[in-house]
Amino acid sequence: MHFSTPRNIMFGRGSVKNIERYLGKKCVIVTGKHTWENVKDLIPIDAPVLFVTRHKWKEPSQKDAEVLAENIREHSPDTIIAVGGGSVIDTAKVAWIIYENPEISWNALYSYNIPELRKKARFIAIETTSGTGSGVSAAAIILDEEGKKRGVVSGELIPDLAIYDANFVEGMPRDVALYSGMDALSQAIEAYISTVDNIIGDTLALKAIELIYKNLPKALEKEDRAIENVHHGNMLAGMGFANSRLCLGHAAAHSLGGEYKIEHGKIVAILLPYIIRANEKHTPKVKEIAKLLGVKDLARAIWKMNDELGIPHAVDIKDEDIEMLGEEIANDRLMKYNPRKMSKEDVIKMLRLLREGVLDEI
């Protein structure tokens, strides 16, 4: 077994003030326009600011990363500081590879065979949402030319420094806080139940589940301590899933979110009770989580949480899509980490219940 994580992580409110000791001589900041408005006063450095285009429900595209790489090159920095949610950090990671290796092809980028980085720049990530874990992970998600989600994955992509300072998430609109928090919860639960028994990753995931489940409702009410607990839960969930992997929830979210243009955090939140139900008889870990949270039926507890937070229970899946979706999800590469081996028919059964909004035996 093996556990990878950033060399340095700073966390706690105000921790960003120590960033200076990790900086080179020439920094650039990569961020989103809206995010920057909220957080610019928190960053104690003066450096050129480059913006990543934000698309409504979509991840950034290859083109976005290429444009950003070009902008980075103009400044020839030795430190790239990505400030944002997952899409900003992911685009910055991919642009960083292109900045260091201008000749690299997209095929090579998707081949899981990324050349050594840090010949030109180190990489710092400051997460401004509580849900992506991109600050501690080895992955970046990007849309290819056909608009399909692709992963660029390599240990090289783990940032040199990740900062989880809850002051950066204060400005999140409720929806972003809600859905990024539910994404982190789903990532933690999937990481814990997945077939990869990475004891370090699983330990972090379990603590993340507890922190997020117990604090998210209060964080949405803007309670300071709860906001910080969820943000730290997000950090732990990120380290958990980066090492213990994800399973059915994210496999299904990739297909359904893409097909029906539902934002990632929302679709994983809707799916979460169903994927627990589908797996609970196939791993003792669901019961372990339920015990930790003091609930009898974990799927039902998450269902109730969704109810109280205003998250829908159903997805309007079209009849003509159900076969194709069942096949795509059953064959998703994340399904090899799912505790239950699921056939296309098993997945279709789950999708039918999801369509009706009924949490039944799957």
Size of interface with Fe ion, in residues (CB under 5 A): 1
Q: Look up residue 227 and give its two tokens.
A: 């906001």
Candidate ranges 24-32, 183-191, 216-224, 232-240; the one touching Fe ion (CB under 5 A): 183-191
Least spacing, CB of residue 302 vs Fe ion, in Å: 15
* Options 21-29, 42-50, 180-188, 294-302: segment touching Fe ion (CB under 5 A): 180-188
Q: If binding is defined by CB under 5 A, does position 263 make contact with Fe ion? A: no
Cβ neighbours around 155 below 10 Å, total = 11
Residue 251 C-beta: closest distance to Fe ion, Å: 11
DSSP string, 209-237: HHHHHHHHHHHHTT-HHHHHHHHHHHHHH
* DSSP symbols for 149-193: EEEEE-GGGS-SEEEE-GGGGTT--HHHHHHHHHHHHHHHHHHHH
Q: Which is nearer to Fe ion, 165 or 183 (CB)?
A: 183
Q: In the bound complex, what is the minimum distance in angstroms from residue 19's beta carbon to Fe ion?
A: 26
**Closest to Fe ion by CB, 5 or 79:** 5
Residue nearest to Fe ion (CB): 183
3-state secondary structure of 32: strand
Please name the amino acid found at residue 284.
Answer: P
- Name the residue nearer to Fe ion (CB basis): 64 or 90: 90
Q: Single out the segment in contact with Fe ion by CB under 5 A; choices: 176-184, 214-222, 338-346, 351-359.
A: 176-184
Residue 265 C-beta: closest distance to Fe ion, Å: 7
Least distance (Å) between residue 183 CB and Fe ion = 4
Q: Which is nearer to Fe ion, 271 or 290 (CB)?
A: 271
Q: Which of 183, 190, 280, 332 binds Fe ion (CB under 5 A)?
A: 183
Q: Which two tokens stand for residue 101?
A: 């290796």
CB of 267 to Fe ion, least distance (A): 9
Cα–Cα distances (Å) from 117 to 121, 123, 143, in that order, read 8, 10, 22
Alpha helices in 221-297 (DSSP H): 224-244, 248-260, 264-279, 285-293
Q: Which range of residues in 34-42, 181-189, 211-219, 328-336 is near Fe ion by CB under 5 A?
A: 181-189
Q: What is the DSSP letter of 131?
A: S
The dihedral through the CA atoms of 189, 172, 169, 242 has a sign that is positive
CB of 186 to Fe ion, least distance (A): 6
Q: Which residues bind to Fe ion, rule: CB under 5 A?
A: 183
